[in-house]
Chain A
């Protein structure tokens, strides 16, 4: 059984049917890349996973558990899914270290020294240990995204979800973060990554899922997607490549 199983997921905002029956699996240990035109509902799909958005209908099983019901402990679910945002979303009033320890101390109830030890291990892993006392405004975009990853990983999540993690970065930093994502995946971190960036997508995966008009219209290798029968898919993957 896959770590995440999404079936016929539908989300409406008023009359707009943003997700119109999405089916998607993410296996433990894999990295799955979802691509699609702007506004196709990629962020909405990710937000449904940890209930930042409540789906209209359909089911999501996370680790065998249905997560869309009213009886679900949403906060516990969220702690199991690390979220990384395009805009980094570091807490600006906290140092790099405190950004990572806040969740450990207040959610996992670790004592301060234990939380700091755990946080430092992750900052070390992502090459940010030397910057632990800096504030978000004092580090570069690529470094911010490393801290965001460290903050997510420190909570020992079952998977990491990334929403356009490189869109706010310059090409060099994009590549850097891409390599990091691949490295983390090779160390066994399950990831679901949404992106516009075909370079990033190809750097971290052989395959991609194409989300279009509210449904998954294809899932294949990049070569297959660029020569797909379906015209919109073919166009998207040829255009983004150029």
Chain B
């Protein structure tokens, strides 16, 4: 047992640069898709509140489609499927595109839920003041809906971190892929995956703390 731990920590030290590299890749992907997923989510949400029934229908379709489609299928489709049509992209690019499409659909759904709880007379008051549709969205709808959605959006960021491990299946050498390699060198699977679990947990805790701080600063009084 003691031998096992020593072997594990020796290998971990040896492979630490690779593991750290993987961790950076994981954080890269998580941060990138959290930002792009939020931005695209806001755009999709904006379109879903638009006056044109056709655009609303299309965005509803988008949300249902990407929430219904398993992420892994989407990633495999882009990474292994598209090359048959001559479209080849790096694992990071594929992961970035696949995750963004998926995360945006979820974020748009959260924002829509918050929007449905909004007071319609505030929006009417804004229109009555003379604000354009775009201004009402920017100054009234979006600030309120984003604040109300902080908990759901935080959960999504946590989900992004956890789901990013799926990207190793399309050859993206992120943290979990590196831990797999580590485990394979000394067969200390339990220790390796426990180590991975603790690292993920630590990052999740950090995200939660940051989210609490954000929530405290921007919450709507009342």
Which A positions have Cβ atoms within 8 angstroms of B?
50, 52, 75-79, 81, 83, 85, 87, 89-93, 102-103, 106-107, 135-138, 148, 151, 155
Whole-angstrom distance between the Cβ of A150 and the nearest chain B Cβ:
13
Question: Among the listed A78, A93, A106, A138, which residue makes an inter-chain contact with B127, where contact means beta carbons less than 8 Å apart?
Answer: A78
Whole-angstrom distance between the Cβ of A42 and the nearest chain B Cβ:
15
Query: Knowing A93-B220, A137-B221 touch, does A85 contact B121 (C-beta < 8 A)?
Result: yes
A79 to B130, CA, bound (A): 5
A83 touching B119 by the CB < 8 A rule? Answer: no
B119 touching A135 by the CB < 8 A rule? Answer: no
Please, which residues of chain A bring their CB within 8 A of the CB of B170?
none
Nearest CB to that of A90 among chain B residues? B122
Q: Which of B1-9, B139-147, B154-162, B171-179 contacts A (4 or more CB under 8 A)?
A: B139-147
Question: Among the listed A52, A87, A92, which residue makes an inter-chain contact with B128, where contact means beta carbons less than 8 Å apart?
Answer: A52
B132 touching A92 by the CB < 8 A rule? Answer: no
A137 to B132, CA, bound (A): 26
A and B contact pairs by CB, cutoff 8 A, 20 listed:
A52-B124, A75-B130, A78-B127, A78-B128, A78-B129, A78-B130, A79-B130, A85-B121, A87-B119, A89-B121, A89-B122, A89-B125, A91-B139, A103-B129, A103-B130, A106-B131, A106-B135, A106-B139, A137-B220, A155-B130
Question: Among the listed A93, A107, A135, A136, which residue makes an inter-chain contact with B129, where contact means beta carbons less than 8 Å apart?
Answer: A107
A81 to B125, CA, bound (A): 12
B126 within 8 A of A: yes
B222 within 8 A of A: yes
A75 to B130, CA, bound (A): 4
A138 touching B222 by the CB < 8 A rule? Answer: yes
A89 touching B130 by the CB < 8 A rule? Answer: no
- Apart from A89-B125, A155-B129, what 8 extra A-B contacts exist at CB < 8 Å? A83-B125, A93-B140, A93-B147, A107-B130, A135-B220, A137-B220, A138-B221, A155-B130
Instruction: Give residues 89-145 of B contacting A (CB, 8 Å).
Output: 119, 121-122, 124-132, 135, 139-140, 143-144
Whole-angstrom distance between the Cβ of B23 and the nearest chain A Cβ:
37
A79 to B128, CA, bound (A): 8
Nearest CB to that of A76 among chain B residues? B130
A91 touching B126 by the CB < 8 A rule? Answer: yes
Tell which of A78, A81, A92, A93 has the most Cβ of chain B within 10 Å: A93
Nearest CB to that of A155 among chain B residues? B129
Please, which residues of chain B bring their CB within 8 A of the CB of A136?
222
Whole-angstrom distance between the Cβ of B149 and the nearest chain A Cβ:
13
A91 to B127, CA, bound (A): 12
